[in-house]
Amino acid sequence: MKLIGSPRVRPIRSQSQALWRDEDDEDEQAPKEERKKTVREATVPLAFACRLDGETMAAGPNHEVWFQAVGPLAVVDDRVQVTPGWLAAAATRSSVAICLSSQPAALLVQASAIRAVARASGRACPLILVGPFLDDAAEELDQFAGVADGFILQARRRDDPALEAEMLRRAASCLGERLILERGSWTEVPATCLIGSPDVLAMVAPSVCDYVLLDDPPAPKAIPGGKLIVTADSEHKPWWAVAYGAVGPEVLAFRPWMMDPRSVR
């Protein structure tokens, strides 16, 4: 006989059933956590560095991603046969384009090409840094007004690291004054990116430079100021990839913790 108003009695699950269900919940939760982790790691903007004096880059991990984003290239003996036009197109899919060459004319052509590709594709042009130039460079920088956004500076080699750091500090802090007031070639203060020994760069005040470009990560006690761009490859997101995930100039690669160049429209 059913009593009106009596509470419904739920069947009691056995301990094995409860355990089985909890394990299913964990299995369903694990992929979600992995997806969340991937999304978090894939937010590091790209800094694309290219060496214009060379014609190849080593084919690194997942380099095919760049082929899918920009276009296919020939690969011979694990070396990607790059062209200036392809490098310019790849650079427009980054936040910072770093052009490296000992020839100012080649830097000017490449910086102009990056701007042209960005304009033609409707994409925002990345910040363009060109160099390297020595700390006393002046006249050779005039022609980059309106084409590049900043310069990569290096100090002349000196026996005293402190003196070398001081020359870099002066070069970076006085660059805008030199180009705008003294030479009248620039109307805005150019960005500065320093290269050199990590120990030397660590002695330069953080407020002086905007970026620091290194081949290898610095020691914890020698972290330079400015936004750090380290071109060393890392499978997992490293501690030094706070501002950018760097690609190039020696290796063409892609890691999942970097911004996917195929998603840049």
Task: Give the amino acid at 40.
Answer: R
84 within 8 A of 114, measured Cβ to Cβ = no
State in Å, rounded, how far the first CA of the chain is from the last one.
70
Domain annotation for the chain: domains and CATH numbers: 45-263 (3.20.20)
Say if strands 150-154 and 251-252 run parallel, antiparallel, or are unpaired: unpaired
Starting at the edge strand that comes first in sequence, how are the strands of the sheet with 79-81 ordered? Answer: 75-76, 79-81, 56-59, 251-252
pLDDT at 15 exceeding the cut of 50: no
Model confidence pLDDT, tens digit, residues 95-123:
999 999 999 999 999 999 999 999 999 99
What digits encode the pLDDT tens for the residues 191-217?
Answer: 999 998 888 998 988 888 999 999 999
Q: How does 3-32 read in b/e, with b if 16+ C-beta sit within 10 Å?
A: eeeeeeeeeeeeeeeeeeeeeeeeeeeeee
The pTM for the full model equals 0.84
Q: Is residue 13 pLDDT above 80, yes or no?
A: no
* 29 band by pLDDT with thresholds 50, 70 and 90: low
Q: How far apart are CA 214 and CA 195, in angstroms?
A: 6
Residue 164, pLDDT above cutoff 60? yes
